[in-house]
């Protein structure tokens, strides 16, 4: 299950909650002041590191082999 962050406007805190994807938009009650909180977007932890597939030529078309004609 994904971890979602929620923000409480009343007491200005951010807290995280582990919820199913189907429950992600249901507003939660703040653990501090019992007011309704909104879900916020976090920064993704996904990173591309290293030289990657671009240096390997992934996605480039392979050169066609030239056929040599034989003389008889």
pLDDT of 12 reads 92
Helix (H) or strand (E) holding 32: none
pTM higher than 0.85, yes or no?
no
Query: Across the chain, where does the E strand assignment appear?
Result: 3-8, 13-18, 28-29, 36-40
Could you read off the pLDDT tens digit of each residue along the chain, which spans 72 residues?
A: 788 889 999 999 998 989 898 887 888 899 889 999 988 888 877 777 766 666 666 666 666 766 666 665
Domain locations along the chain = 3-42
pLDDT of 61 reads 67
CA distance 24 to 1: 10
């Amino acid at each position: 299950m994904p971890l979602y962050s929620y923000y409480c406007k009343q007491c200005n805190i951010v807290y995280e909650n582990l919820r199913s994807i189907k429950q992600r938009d249901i507003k939660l009650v703040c653990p501090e002041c019992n007011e309704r909180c909104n879900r916020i977007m976090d920064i993704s932890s996904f990173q591309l590191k290293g030289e990657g597939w671009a240096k390997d030529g992934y996605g480039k078309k392979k050169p066609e082999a030239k056929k040599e004609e034989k003389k008889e």
